[in-house]
Amino acid sequence: MKPILLRALCAAACVFLLSAASPALAQTPAAATATATSPPKVLRLALSSRENNLDPAQISDVISSALVASLFDAPLTYDPLARPAKLKPNTATSLPEISENFTRFVFRIRPGIHFPDHPAFKGQRRELVAEDYVYSIKRYYDPASRSPTLFHYENAGLLGLSELRKKAIDSKKPFDYDTPVDGLRTLDRYSFEIRTARPAPRLPYVLANPAIAGALAREVVEQDRSTIGERPVGTGPFRVAAWTRGARIVLERNQNQEWRRYDAEPNPDDAAGQALAARFRGRPLPMLDRVELTIVEEAQPRWLSFLNRQIDVIELPSEFVTLAAPNGQVAPHLGKDGVRLHREVGVRTWYTYFGMENPVVGGYEPHQVALRRAIALAHDVEREIRLLRRGQGIPPQTILPPGVPGYDPTLRTEMSQHSLPRAKALLELYGYVDRDGDGWRERPDGSPLLIKHRTETLLLNRELQQLWQKTLTSLNIRGEYSQAQWQENIKASRAGQLMMWSTGWVAALPDASYFTDVMYGPNKGQSNHARFNHPEFNALHEQQRAMPDGPERFALVQKAMTLAVAYMPIKATSHPMINWLTHRGVEGFVPHPFVRDFWRYLDVDATNPAP
């Protein structure tokens, strides 16, 4: 969902203790599974960036998405151990009934799931019902939500909802949640139906992501729409117990979790997974009583927190890979203390985009394309991976990463190539030359050529910006370099105000469309930050998204991706290797590419702590 949407907003430290900020959220005492003789099971984590808010319809960053996944329930989820990713029911009784060439989907919700207590429920137990999903999906269409992830539903073409949204915008009246539409309706108390204008074979994946399909209770939202992102109330495994914006979040076991059990079906050849599944099968979820999350944006203090046993799990910053995991093995000094290493190629792509509507770096004329391709050729991807990522990455051929269906490991494109002579020759050929003798190139019409690059304020981002400065300087292109908080950058990016921004994209779904979405013209201002809008690419995107997975669809995906390489709206620079470390006592940790709140499946052994 992001650009990598690993930073978030709010510099103000506004503390929300649930007893004061939202009385209805402070119902369940901590340590629900602890007894008089056993301490609470507590997992401590450090997050690499700030949360945005906790309203599913308003978020697109990874951190907020992970938190929201713990607070709200989507109808479907993923098997925690099956690979490749496999859907399974969550609040639904089964996988959806799909018919009419992937244009009709019926979801049936399990009876007996309840929201936690809240004043809006007026003292009554509030059951999760089908109408909660219908209402929650409609919230993405409500112009007041300003949802950055609406494209998931609009691209599927839910019948009648885009028209209802347009009516609200044109009339400048509130979105009408009660107007019936053919594309989204309840069939009975526990069943709802989605109908789409075109085949949407992978729509069920959207309904497995709580950040896109989590259920909210309408009466809670309508109690105060303006603060719903600060007082989340859902049926998820956890609830917010304390929150200091941008600093610390404490999650506690939610009420009414009796229905949730550990159930996994790992691959037959996965011996470790089979053993874990047998050990955990049938256990009540969540197994933890509390999760304490601290925001530590810089890598060094986050790493020191892990070494000092102040946190239990860490996504290892690349700066410390050679120290902690040399040659892909946990370092001996850590291994002897029970630290374990878990490695995976992330379903992520780091990239730098060019603003395609910017008069300097954008456009589709040959000389405009040549400028972007020259800059891309001059940027040494392997050097960035070697120096900045400490070798923990794969040079991309397109923005589509490994682990997503449609990725082709044999594909080779100009995306990963580095040739300064070719880059300079391209610039010379298309008229980007130094006309006034000051050492800097001008544009073909003789006007100044100035490239403005934006990134965040963290050390790693500043080091990356220095690499881009060297790239532009090597081409005799004058650059201007600035940094800002991620939330400021994302706001400017969605408005089309940035010329170049180094960011990235993390897969939320096992679907190649999630990456073609990044360059699909109608998604400008949402997933399409580069604002690329090419008719042939748009047509390929639309054609492939209606097809079931298979060689024919994947061939269209690759055709779209290689077309994008030719126009170079985005310079992909790495598919990162993700290294996780866990301390002794953390049990059941198996990274899942599309389950961001991994703690929902973890246990901790308080009797076997790290020394």
Q: What tens digit of pLDDT does each residue of 366-379 get?
A: 999 999 999 999 99
As a whole number, mean pLDDT of residues 383-408 equals 96
Q: What's the pLDDT tens digit per position in 241-264?
A: 999 999 999 999 999 999 999 999
Residue 63 tokens read as 């951190």
Residue 578 contacts by C-beta under 8 Å, 6 or more apart in sequence? Answer: 315, 343, 344, 345, 346, 348, 591
On average, the pLDDT of the chain sits at: 93
How far apart (Å, rounded) are the C-alpha atoms in residues 125 and 294? Answer: 33
State how far the alpha carbon of 196 is from the alpha carbons of 74, 103, 152, 268, 447, in Å: 19, 5, 12, 36, 49
Q: What is the DSSP string of 78-108?
A: E-SS-SS--EEESSBSSSPEEETTTTEEEEE
**What is the pLDDT, as a whole number, of residue 607?**
65
| Digit-coded pLDDT (tens) for 423-436 | 999 999 999 999 99
Q: Which residues pair with 321 in a beta bridge?
A: none
pLDDT one-digit tens code per residue, 141-172: 999 999 999 999 999 999 999 999 999 999 99
Cβ count near 577 (within 10 Å): 21
pLDDT for res 161: 98
How does DSSP assign 18-85, residue by residue?
Answer: HHHH-GGG--SPS-TT-BTTB---EEEEEESS----S-GGG--SHHHHHHHHHHS--SEEE-SS-SS-
518 secondary structure, DSSP code: G
Prediction pTM value: 0.91
pLDDT at residue 95 greater than cutoff 80? yes
Placement of tokens 């239990």 in the chain: 312
Residue 36's pLDDT is 52
- pLDDT number for residue 13: 34
| 50-70 average pLDDT score | 94
Which uninterrupted H or E stretch holds 478?
A: strand 478-483
Give the pLDDT confidence score for residue 227 in this predicted structure: 87
pLDDT tens per residue, range 220-235? 999 988 889 999 999 9
Please report, rounded to a whole number, the percentage of residues in the chain having pLDDT higher than 90. Answer: 90
Domains of the chain by start residue, with CATH: 15-253 (3.40.190.10), 348-577 (3.10.105.10)
What's residue 19's pLDDT? 35
Question: Mean pLDDT over residues 552-567, rounded?
Answer: 98
pLDDT at 52: 86
Rounded to an integer, the average pLDDT of 572-594 is 96
Residue 16 pLDDT exceeds 50: no
Range in 6-20, 134-148, 337-351 with the lowest mean pLDDT: 6-20
Three-state DSSP class for residue 361: coil
Q: Please write the tens of the pLDDT for every residue from 252-295.
A: 999 999 999 999 999 999 999 999 999 999 999 999 999 999 99
Alpha helices (H) in 157-262, listed in sequence order: 161-171, 203-206, 210-213, 218-223
- Model confidence at 532: pLDDT above 70: yes
Q: What is the mean pLDDT of residues 485-497?
A: 94
Task: Give CA–CA dist 543/500, Å, rounded.
Answer: 29
Contact 237, 286 (CB under 8 A): yes
Residue type, 63: I
**Residue 387 DSSP SS3:** helix
Q: Is the pLDDT of residue 10 over 70?
A: no
Q: What is the pLDDT of residue 37?
A: 64
